[in-house]
Amino acid sequence: MQSRIVDGRSTSQNSESLHVNHARFCGACGKPSTAKYCDTECYRTWQRSRPVEDRFWAKVNKQGPQTATAEGVCWDWTSNVVGRPGFLYGQLCVHGKSVYAHRYAYELEHGPIPAGLHILHACDRPICVRASHLRVGTHADNLRDAASKNRFNVPRPNHARRKLTEAQVTEIRNLHRVGMLQVELAERFHVTKACINQIVNGKRRVYNAPQLQREATHVAAS
């Protein structure tokens, strides 16, 4: 029993009834719970019961940055992402299937995306889901867009950027013919072993390939 003063009078109340009055209930199953949901399963059940569109907008920040290539600020996805740093794409579950958030955003505004087509970002920010920043395009369009933004300039070690002269290419092939190993050639000319492999097999410096064929024919005939 607990006592309290009401209008100058002492009253008693059962502690059990106080606990019931202040009990919390799970938002999914309705059972008494000390938290908003009983457990992870109940939380997921509640999530699945919500309309997908409601879940989507609850995870969008409409106060993203302004970019020079698109009108208006970006609307950034704030939940699950996939990709690599700097190129993260939003992801959500739609009817038990994982989909990209920006593709879902485009479909909300424009309807289904034709099969085989990509969604390109005018703002150049994959995390953005603002429909006005998105446009449909082919795989070729996507590659051209990436190339125009220098997406294909992958950093490489300094030695891999070094250019070999025609004399060095010829020397590499000659040394390989007399038995020098590819790994030794790579160390000697400060390039990768893969580069040496392409040179000695005629896959690099394509304009020299006919010369290689003539040399091979001459060796076979001799």
- Per domain, the residue ranges of the chain are 2-49, 52-148, 158-221
Of residues 208 and 27, more confidently modeled: 27
Instruction: Tell me the percentage of the chain whose pLDDT exceeds 70.
Output: 74
How much is the pLDDT for 107? 95
Q: Comparing 147 with 185, which gets the higher pLDDT? A: 185
pLDDT reported for residue 215: 43
pLDDT by residue (tens digit) across 112-152? Answer: 999 999 999 999 899 999 999 999 999 888 888 887 776 66
Tokens 């289904």 found at? 112
- Long-range contacts, 211-217 (Cβ 8 Å, 24+): 212/173
At the top level of CATH, the class of 52-148 is alpha beta
Distance CA(170)–CA(204), nearest Å, equals: 12
Could you read off the pLDDT of 173-182 as tens digits, one per residue? 889 888 888 8
Q: How confident is the model at residue 166 (pLDDT cuts 50, 70, 90)?
A: confident
The separation between CA 26 and the C-alpha centre of its own chain, rounded to angstroms, equals 35
Report the SS3 class of residue 193.
Answer: helix
Q: With contact defined as beta carbons under 8 Å apart, do 47 and 41 qualify? A: no
Please, what is the angle between helix 166-177 and helix 193-200, to 10°? 80
Q: Is the pLDDT of residue 157 over 60?
A: no
Q: Tens of pLDDT along 54-105?
A: 889 999 999 999 988 888 999 999 999 998 887 899 999 888 789 999 999 9
Mean per-residue pLDDT, 184-190: 85
Following DSSP, what letter does each residue of 104-138 receive, concatenated? HHHHHHH-PPPTT-EEEETTS-TTB--GGGEEEE-
Per-residue b/e over 192-219, b at no fewer than 16 CB within 10 Å? Answer: eeebbeebbebebbeeeeeeeeeeeeee
* Confidence (pLDDT) at 16: 44
